Amino acid sequence: MKNKIVLMCLFLLQLGQGVAQNRFPKPDFESGYKYPEIHYAVSHEDLLVIVDIFLLVLLMGIVSWAVIKKRTRKPIIWVSVISVAYFGFFRHGCVCSIGSIQNIALALVDSTYVLPLSVLLFFILPVLFAFLFGRVFCAGVCPFGALQELVHIKSYKLPRTLSIILGMIPWIYLIFALLYAITRTSFIICHFDPFVGFFRLGGDIGMILFGAVLLILALFVGRPFCRFMCPYGALLSLFSSVSIWKIRLTDKSCINCELCHNACPVDAIRPPYTNKVNESRERGVKRLLNYFVLLPLMILCGAFLMRLVSNELSRSNKDVRLYEMVMQHETNPGEVLSVELEAFYGQGGVINELAEKAEKVQSDYNFYATIAGILIGLVIGITLIELSVKRTRKLYEIDHAACVGCARCFSYCPQYKIGNESGNTSL
């Protein structure tokens, strides 16, 4: 009986419910007997989860202090080293805030799925910090971003138009990750993780090679994975754009020296812009209105195309794939049974039940793929509008949605140096 109680307590601890409660009240003895206090040992993994969450908050707090209050880069370098060492190589890249998106999505549509508290916290805490201080999680707390930050040696600027177009990929990746998660098909973010092979010192050779290519690019292009692939970074950019305390280079006036713009590895500092082509305001507004008129059409096209391929996409689901294999075998029973078919027939699988599961999955795909198409059309439309908008800027400005808080730009600003020498580092 005691063993069962211990196992139950450990199970509840794993889900974040630290203490088990008695289901029935204890009998009331009149003899004055007092129950001894029983202390259950916390498992090694539970302690590590507590350390994970504590370290996550601590490191994000250090980065927030460094970029908002002190405007210095040294603490971020140390945070990056700690993150790569602990969250990367020691914890093997798991729990991962990037992959937690899928757990959250599945928990929202499937009441039977138990969402671990640690996964929920790893998802929501960086979002909260992004809303308060910007993308401080991306600065060096995320082991993927930290790894790219540590290997970066020189920044080569990509054309602005190319960066904006490539910036659509994380959003589309996010949409497909949600689609495959809520249809219980696959956690594709975990499956196509380019860096986990390095942290675990082994894995799929294809993904390891892909990760190696990304790291080579990261030597000369600032954070290619963070900017052009990471779905969680795309989500954090929304909250960072409206953050309460924003990153600033200096309290003094910008002198347009261009040094901060050249130092930024992720092209998050926008240079001054003047209307060099002398385009009339009327023509610019007309072009923008045309895109807004086309936006609903893009959304409808996206919904139609994704609905059209929804059945094809559903074949990624194991139930749909198994049902097709069973029906093919029933048509040609002489074929050699695959491992999946042997397991199905060996366990006494019922074809009608499998057909109902496959039909339910295909129905879900028809609905959710349509929603995904709407979102993809919206992403493409907004990107075109962003390319069309040419707002006049007189000074260099930080794009807080794109800024990852690496703090490389601070030491390059002459006004920052003047303020720092005079001790003026207040907000």
What pLDDT score does 336 carry? 79
pLDDT tens by residue, 381-420:
999 888 877 777 888 899 999 999 999 988 888 876 655 5
Average pLDDT of the residues in 196-224: 93
**CA-CA distance, 298 to 394, in Å (whole number)?**
34
Alpha carbon 7 to its chain centroid, in Å, reads: 33
Closest CA to 363 of 148, 183, 110: 183
What pLDDT score does 46 carry? 83
**CA-CA distance, 160 to 111, in Å (whole number)?**
44
What pLDDT score does 330 carry? 86
**CA-CA distance, 76 to 406, in Å (whole number)?**
7
Closest CA to 319 of 345, 356, 348: 356
Which residues sit opposite 397 in a β-bridge? 270
* The amino acid at 168: M
| Residue keyed to tokens 């601590």 | 58
φ, ψ of residue 273 to 5 degrees: the values are -135, 130
Beta-carbon contacts of 364 under 8 Å, excluding residues fewer than 6 positions away, are 182, 183
What pLDDT score does 31 carry? 52
Cβ proximity of 60 and 141 under 8 Å? yes
pLDDT tens by residue, 306-365:
999 999 999 999 999 999 999 988 888 877 788 888 888 888 888 999 999 999 999 999
Extract long-range pairs of 321-328: CB within 8 Å, 24+ residues apart: 322/354, 322/358, 323/354, 323/355, 323/357, 323/358, 324/358, 326/351, 326/354
Average pLDDT of the residues in 291-299: 87
C-alpha dist (Å) from residue 88 to 7, 18, 101, 115: 30, 26, 19, 22
Quickly count helices (H) and strands (E) in the chain: 21, 2
* The amino acid at 23: R
**CA-CA distance, 322 to 264, in Å (whole number)?**
50
What pLDDT score does 38 carry? 52
What pLDDT score does 393 carry? 81
What pLDDT score does 389 carry? 75
Residue 35: pLDDT above 90? no
Least confident window among 7-21, 200-214, 306-320? 7-21
What pLDDT score does 17 carry? 43
pLDDT tens by residue, 73-132:
999 999 999 999 999 999 998 888 999 999 999 999 998 999 999 999 999 999 999 999
Alpha carbon 406 to its chain centroid, in Å, reads: 18
Closest CA to 420 of 268, 249, 255, 247: 249
Which residues sit opposite 270 in a β-bridge? 397
| Residue keyed to tokens 């979102």 | 375
Q: How confident is the model at residue 280 (pLDDT cuts 50, 70, 90)?
A: low
What pLDDT score does 219 carry? 95
Which residues sit opposite 393 in a β-bridge? 273
Q: Is 396 helix (H, G, I), strand (E, B) or coil?
A: coil
* The amino acid at 2: K
Average pLDDT of the residues in 270-291: 72
What pLDDT score does 171 carry? 97
Q: How confident is the model at residue 145 (pLDDT cuts 50, 70, 90)?
A: very high
Is the omega angle on the peptide bond into residue 49 within 30 degrees of 0, that is, cis?
Answer: no
The rounded percent of the chain whose pLDDT value lies above 90 is: 59
**CA-CA distance, 72 to 276, in Å (whole number)?**
36
